[in-house]
Chain A
Amino acid sequence: MRAYDKLKTVRQSGRPTAAEYIEQLFTDRISLSGDRRFGDDTAIQGGIGFLEGIPVTYIAIEKGKDLNERIQNHFGCPKPEGYRKALRLMKEAEKFHRPVICIVDTQGAYCGAEAEERGQGQAIAENILEMMGLETPTISIVIGEGGSGGALALCTTDYVYMLENACYSVISPEGCASILWKDASKADEAADALQITAQDMKRMGVAETVISEDFKHFKNMCRDIKKQLVGDLQGLMSCSTTKLLSQRYDRFRKYGVYEEGGVVHGALG
């Protein structure tokens, strides 16, 4: 499948949304609301629960199941108060040294006048900064679309998993094509050029794990995700805070390809 076909696949309704993963992965859930600043953005669902007996905080971008929910959640494009709610829950998790699991599926951060007025850029910037110093393990799972800064704000984690058809991109292929070629219909070419698939992410070291999709056996699929999460969390939870943070620093420090003194550094696999 070409990159753009994968993206179209994950954008279709009918795939499990974040809420269904939450239901399968965590037990004894208590959902938590609000950013304590302005309001509650339901595009971000969060709470606490047990992952195979480990207390965790989950934070998810929920697109919504039906049209009403989708409108209510503005199609899974979080507003600044959504990102601030996410950060509030992360800081609460840090206080109790509880791991944070993020589930990501968004075209991008909400685009609108009120989001700009309330500091969409600042909200994302603060999340990224704070997550770099968050003294508890973090893992994110991209289950559909990972759209630019709006996804990155929940993906600056110790590990990133991606479903096999999930995509992660700096810009939507439509946006890229209309800026570069003034023609949004060349999105398929743009998607190829941008290299946005889970397999590209694995190759470039942006994602550690690609998860096979098997929605017919969704429970089994989630059981495998649980196993992977528990294994990775056990490793992360046995690290000292200093080691955890320095590993996270190194994870992001390595990204970049450039030439210095005639030598190309950071070549991609």
Chain B
Amino acid sequence: MLFSLFEKKVLDCPYCKHQFKEKNSFYICPQCGKYLKMPPRERIRQVVDKDSFQELSGELKSVDFLNFPGYSEKLEKAQEDTGEADAVVCGGAVIGGSPCAVFVMDSRFIMASMGSVVGEKITRVFEYATRHRLPVIGFTASGGARMQEGIISLMQMAKVSAAVQKHASEGNLYISVLTNPTTGGVTASFAMQGDIILAEPGATVGFAGRRVVEQTTRAQLPDNFQSSEFLQEHGFVDKIVSRDELKASLGTILRLHNGVRRQA
């Protein structure tokens, strides 16, 4: 772990194959401008004030409780590939001087599908924020509910929403930041429940997948269908913010909400 801090890491752009140094790149390809997938801890490093992040519920692990074919192997492989226990990292942090709670979903981990662990950790971060009267900043990414956990994965949408509702009803701020890709059950729950909804440029955001819509309806879909820009055009996203400006934007939004809170 320590050694990796000194390594000059090189990234490969999966879109144009360009190679570039990770340092100060924001995981944006300097050649084609596309946004690369980013480890959640790198996201946290980019947006929170130095040394302010304190992880919550870091040791929760998924259980293959339905004995679903191939699930245990999938979990093991994802843990090996990412070095993370599951598909979300949560904690308390400070952004631009404002204390807040943060969750960051990890699309490298089984497409950031939402099972019990993802649902439980995000629920807990909202409960923590409600107790401490803190805003929540959530970076969403997901292929949807984790079908290997059956109906219990669907229930995570309801569980998290209940915690979001409670947090909101006590006058607390929630900003969701939609990152590539945010789809399915996560779109149909907490991704779309923010007081303010930001999105990264060019992210895919939708409920049903593009291919499913095409196959079901045989419709010709515009190129920008389900892009963050498309969602903003249709009134579902407040603002598209580039990665290098996110920290500043979040800091400003947080400051604009400081001290103007309705009493619970």
Chain A residues packing against B (C-beta within 8 Å):
109, 111-113, 115-122, 124-126, 128-130, 132-133, 148-149, 152-153, 156, 168-171, 176, 179-180, 193-196, 200-201, 204, 206, 248-249, 252-253, 255-261, 264, 266-268
Contacts and interface: CB of A to CB of B under 8 A. Distances in A.
Interface string B11-22: 000000000000
Contacts of B221: 113
Contacts of A206: 151-152, 155
A180 B69 contact: yes
B60 interface: yes
A253 B152 contact: no
Contacts of B116: 255-258, 266
Nearest to B161: A128
B164 A129 contact: yes
B27 interface: no
A125 B191 contact: yes
Contacts of B191: 121, 125
Nearest to A248: B162
Nearest to A268: B65
Interface residues of B, number: 60
30 contacts: A112-B217, A113-B219, A124-B188, A125-B191, A129-B168, A133-B165, A153-B188, A156-B161, A169-B150, A170-B145, A170-B154, A171-B145, A193-B69, A193-B150, A194-B150, A195-B66, A196-B151, A206-B151, A252-B155, A252-B159, A252-B161, A252-B162, A256-B120, A256-B152, A256-B159, A257-B149, A258-B120, A259-B62, A260-B57, A266-B116
Interface stretch (B38-46, B208-216, B241-249, B254-262): B208-216
A160 B239 CA distance: 38
Given A116-B226, A129-B164, A170-B145, A111 B158 contact: no
